[in-house]
Homo-oligomer: A and B are copies of this chain.
Amino acid sequence: MNQEHLDHIFGALSDATRRGMLEQLSRGEANVSALASSHEMSQPAISKHLKVLERAGLIRKQRRGREQFVRVNPEAAKAAQAWIDHYSRYWAEQFDAVDAYLQSKKETKQ
C-alpha cells in the first residue's frame, strides 16, 4: 500500500457529501442524476466528487448508453481499514502504558 493511495482514500472520505454518496451506493448502484438529486448540489459538483471517489478507487463507473452507472468497490476501503486497525492496536497499548505509569506513580506516593 503506498502513501499516495492512502492520502486519496482518507481524503475522499473526509467530505460528508462523498460519504453520503457512498452511503447511497451501499443501497444499490445509481446514475449521476440520481446521485445529484439526492444531494442538494449541481450535477457538475457531483461529477467532481465522483472523480475524487474514483481516484481513491472507492467507486467504479460503467457507461450504459447515455447514463453512467456508479457502484462501490469494496476492496478500496480495506487499505484505510487496515491502516487504522494496525495502528489502533499500538495506540491502545501506548495509552495503557501511560495509564499504568501514572497509576504506579500514584501508588508510590501513598
Contacts and interface: CB of A to CB of B under 8 A. Distances in A.
Interface in A1-34: 3-4, 6-8, 10-11, 13-16, 19, 22-23, 25-29
**Interface secondary structure of A, over-half rule:** helix
A11 B83 CA distance: 15
Interface in A77-110: 77-78, 80-81, 83-85, 87-88, 90-92, 94-95, 98
Interface centre among A4, A19, A27, A84 (most CB of B within 10 A): A84
A72 interface: yes
Given A81-B85, A87-B26, A88-B74, A13 B16 contact: no
A70 to B, nearest CB: 11
A94 B27 CA distance: 7
A43 to B, nearest CB: 22
